[in-house]
């Protein structure tokens, strides 16, 4: 059979992986619970029957607000089989954003993943135009739960009606609506069709060259189209998907599951790398020397140029002495990571490939279902520093002003209730304007900046802050950075140090470290950061160089409001929050 609608994955999995006992696994209260393909199918069908009994009609909007868990998939399929539209919402947004999205989408039913979320949404319900029911995925005494809906479905099965609805759903129909966590203004409802997402994961299917019993781990939000598409890919290939207990337990969960594959974002990869390096600097002198030797070899790895025979022999020795221990920290069996959402540092690509883990950088947007380009694991399929060749059947070209444009069935149906904004980004020839600047190098796309974020100095010179930021975080001392300079004489930056690495450096250099707020004021530390920035400035053009900087004692987070759900900087928020500090940078 073919997968033409997303809910066709259920019969596909039944036919190709019959009796599979662990399609999904979730961890609650310290225990992993596995769900079979039969559990999946029965739960999804009964959720569909329950929704129909509640009066849900094709085209109605139904929201989920929860962290990743197996039940998310049961609800996802149950919604789409009933012909409704799934509106996944991040569990970390503000009440005002919840209120806007729920009213704008006219959501009728909500599924939440925790008691706290249930209480928040119950308060918002009175300010909503359309909410009829809220169900909790976890059992909460005295409140409607997912099990109640499943029971309602079991008692009101109408297979003929459900099959008729499923048969009426076409590949080009809207399957989901995802509200983008924009850095400014209200979120936009991106309408995505079944076929766009399906074409994405079918094109990605040859990439993981693994057996159907492979284990995947998932921690990025399923409410983001990137992780969701990968989630469908894993189901299509028969992989067992394990959802982490929480962000705080990722490391432990990875070591327990011993995954073969995972999706990630650069920030997680950077944090993992930093922990490896920090641990290496704490080793006794002889072991630290061996660690640094292996680390140096890894930093010079290039997948296109394998290096001399002597280098290859050194790599094999380093694999036994150093890299094997790094892999153990990631479960010992991980062989493929796909990274998206932001630019990936070349040093990270070099280190992970050297240690035997293919780290593939890709590129896309919510509006493109999502992948536009991705590096491939086979020889000649990728290049460090690029986001790879164009992906699948999507068409990609560079406009005269350098903007990346794409076209094809993976492009969104449009922005919900906003035809004017849709026209702004999809031109009359069907080309979607990404807002990113890029260039092709031998068929590999390199992203060089964000069109709207480029600023002009008072001398009339243009600076792409993302490109400068990408260069600056090559320093192991710098965790986060924002480059500024609109209408100023030079570029300057706010810098969040990598405090774990800084602690190790202080220990080795006999610098007293008591707190983040204390250490950033130490003259020797500020001098070290100036040296790091000056060194990296030499690789930049004169107008791009960071001439002044200020160190901050607290990292930017989603919870703090400085990062979007996809971990991009909310530039306007940061600029407003640190307005006084920024003003001093240009005095």
**SS3 (DSSP) at 505:** helix
What pLDDT score does 317 carry?
A: 98
- pLDDT category at 16 given cuts 50, 70, 90 is very high
Compute the C-alpha angle 46/48/54, nearest 5°.
105
- pLDDT category at 70 given cuts 50, 70, 90 is very high
| Model confidence pLDDT, tens digit, residues 300-332 | 999 999 899 999 999 999 999 999 999 999 999
What pLDDT score does 94 carry?
A: 85
What pLDDT score does 564 carry?
A: 82
What mean pLDDT do residues 506-532 have? 96
β-pairing, 61-65 vs 107-112, is: parallel
Distance CA 69, CA 403 (A): 37
Tokens read off for 380: 């000649």
Domain 6-169+205-231 -> CATH class: alpha beta
Distance CA 333, CA 390 (A): 29
* Contacts of residue 324, Cβ cutoff 8 Å, sequence gap at least 6: none
β-pairing, 24-28 vs 240-243, is: parallel
CATH architecture of the domain with range 454-585:
2-Layer Sandwich (3.30)
Tokens read off for 220: 């990025």
What pLDDT score does 541 carry?
A: 92
Taking 3-state DSSP, the helix, strand and coil percentages for the chain, each rounded to the nearest 5, stand at: 40, 20, 35
Query: Sign (positive/negative) of CA torsion 204, 208, 214, 218?
Result: negative
451 DSSP 8-state letter: G
Residue 129's Cα: distance from chain center in Å? Answer: 31
Residue 182 scores a pLDDT above 60? no
Which H or E run contains 374?
strand 371-374
Distance CA 223, CA 89 (A): 6
410 DSSP 8-state letter: T
What mean pLDDT do residues 340-369 have? 95
Give the closest residue to 84 by CA, choosing from 215, 173, 157: 173
What mean pLDDT do residues 115-127 have? 93
Distance CA 168, CA 185 (A): 36
What pLDDT score does 299 carry?
A: 96
**SS3 (DSSP) at 312:** helix
Residue spans of the domains in the chain: they are 6-169+205-231, 454-585
What mean pLDDT do residues 341-366 have? 95
Distance CA 495, CA 551 (A): 5
Distance CA 355, CA 495 (A): 30
- pLDDT category at 120 given cuts 50, 70, 90 is very high
What pLDDT score does 45 carry?
A: 98
Q: Please answer whether residues 213 and 554 qualify as being in contact, where contact means their C-beta atoms are separated by less than 8 angstroms.
A: no
The percent of residues in the chain predicted with pLDDT above 70, rounded, is: 99
Any idea which of 19-33, 295-309, 416-430, 449-463 has the lowest mean pLDDT? 449-463
| Model confidence pLDDT, tens digit, residues 562-584 | 988 777 888 999 999 999 999 99
Q: Please answer whether residues 47 and 153 qualify as being in contact, where contact means their C-beta atoms are separated by less than 8 angstroms.
A: yes
Which H or E run contains 347?
helix 346-354
| Model confidence pLDDT, tens digit, residues 226-236 | 999 999 999 99
Distance CA 312, CA 317 (A): 9
What pLDDT score does 184 carry?
A: 55
Distance CA 144, CA 251 (A): 34
Q: Please answer whether residues 372 and 390 qualify as being in contact, where contact means their C-beta atoms are separated by less than 8 angstroms.
A: yes
Distance CA 146, CA 462 (A): 53
What mean pLDDT do residues 347-358 have? 97
**Mean per-residue pLDDT of the chain:** 95
What pLDDT score does 1 carry?
A: 82
Give the closest residue to 68 by CA, choosing from 252, 217, 202: 217
Distance CA 360, CA 264 (A): 10
Q: Please answer whether residues 484 and 547 qualify as being in contact, where contact means their C-beta atoms are separated by less than 8 angstroms.
A: no
Residue 240 scores a pLDDT above 90? yes
Phi, psi of 154 (to 5 degrees): -60, -35
Residue 181 scores a pLDDT above 70? no
| Model confidence pLDDT, tens digit, residues 134-177 | 999 998 888 999 999 999 999 999 999 999 999 999 999 999 99
């Amino acid at each position: 059979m073919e997968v033409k609608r997303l809910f066709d994955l259920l019969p596909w999995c039944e036919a190709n992986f019959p009796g599979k006992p662990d399609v999904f696994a979730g961890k609650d209260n310290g225990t992993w619970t596995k769900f079979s393909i039969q559990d999946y199918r029965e739960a999804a069908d009964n959720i569909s029957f329950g929704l129909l009994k509640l009066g849900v009609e094709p085209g109605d909007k139904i929201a989920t607000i929860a962290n990743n868990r197996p039940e998310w998939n049961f609800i996802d399929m149950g919604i789409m089989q009933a012909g409704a539209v799934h509106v996944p919402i991040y569990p970390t947004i503000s009440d005002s954003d919840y209120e806007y999205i729920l009213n704008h989408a006219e959501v009728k039913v909500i599924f939440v993943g925790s008691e706290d979320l249930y209480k928040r949404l119950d308060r918002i319900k009175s300010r909503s135009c359309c909410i009829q029911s809220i169900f909790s995925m976890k059992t909460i005494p005295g409140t409607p739960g997912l099990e109640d809906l499943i029971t309602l479905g079991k008692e009101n099965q109408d297979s003929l009606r459900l099959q008729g609805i499923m048969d009426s759903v076409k590949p080009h129909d809207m399957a989901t609506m995802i509200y983008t966590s924009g850095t400014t203004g209200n979120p936009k409802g991106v309408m995505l069709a079944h076929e766009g997402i399906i074409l994405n994961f079918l094109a990605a299917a040859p990439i993981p060259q693994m057996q159907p019993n492979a284990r995947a781990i998932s921690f990025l939000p399923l409410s983001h189209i990137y992780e969701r598409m990968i989630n469908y890919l894993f189901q299509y290939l028969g992989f067992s998907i394990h959802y982490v207990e929480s962000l705080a337990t990722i490391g432990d969960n990875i070591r327990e599951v011993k995954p073969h594959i995972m999706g990630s974002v650069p920030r997680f990869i950077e944090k993992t790398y930093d922990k490896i390096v920090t641990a290496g600097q704490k080793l006794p002198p002889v072991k630290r020397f061996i660690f640094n030797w292996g680390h140096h070899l890894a930093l010079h790895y290039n997948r296109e140029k394998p290096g001399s025979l002597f280098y290859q022999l050194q790599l094999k020795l380093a694999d036994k002495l150093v890299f094997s221990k790094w892999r153990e920290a990631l479960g010992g069996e991980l062989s493929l990571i796909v990274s998206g959402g932001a630019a990936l540092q070349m040093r990270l690509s070099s280190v992970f490939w050297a240690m035997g883990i293919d780290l593939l950088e890709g590129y896309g947007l919510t509006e493109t279902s999502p992948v536009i380009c991705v590096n491939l694991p086979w020889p000649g399929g990728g290049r460090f520093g690029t986001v790879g060749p164009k992906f699948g059947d999507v068409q990609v070209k560079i406009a005269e002003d350098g903007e990346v444009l794409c076209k094809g069935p993976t492009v969104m149906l449009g922005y919900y209730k906003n035809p004017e904004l849709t026209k702004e980004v999809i031109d009359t020839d069907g080309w979607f304007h990404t807002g990113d600047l890029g260039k092709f190098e031998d068929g590999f796309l390199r992203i060089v900046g964000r069109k709207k974020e480029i600023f002009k100095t008072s001398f009339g010179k243009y600076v792409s802050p993302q490109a400068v930021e990408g260069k600056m975080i090559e320093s192991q001392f710098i965790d986060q950075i924002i480059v500024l300079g609109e209408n100023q004489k030079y570029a300057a930056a706010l810098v969040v140090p990598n405090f774990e690495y800084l602690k190790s450096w202080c220990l080795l250099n006999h610098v007293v470290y008591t707190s983040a707020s204390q250490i950033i004021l130490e003259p020797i530390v500020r001098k070290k950061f100036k040296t790091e920035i000056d060194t990296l400035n030499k690789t930049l053009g004169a107008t791009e160089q960071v001439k002044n900087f200020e160190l901050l004692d607290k990292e930017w987070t989603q919870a703090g409001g400085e990062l979007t759900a996809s971990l991009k900087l909310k530039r306007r928020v940061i600029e407003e929050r640190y307005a006084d500090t920024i003003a001093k940078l240009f005095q």
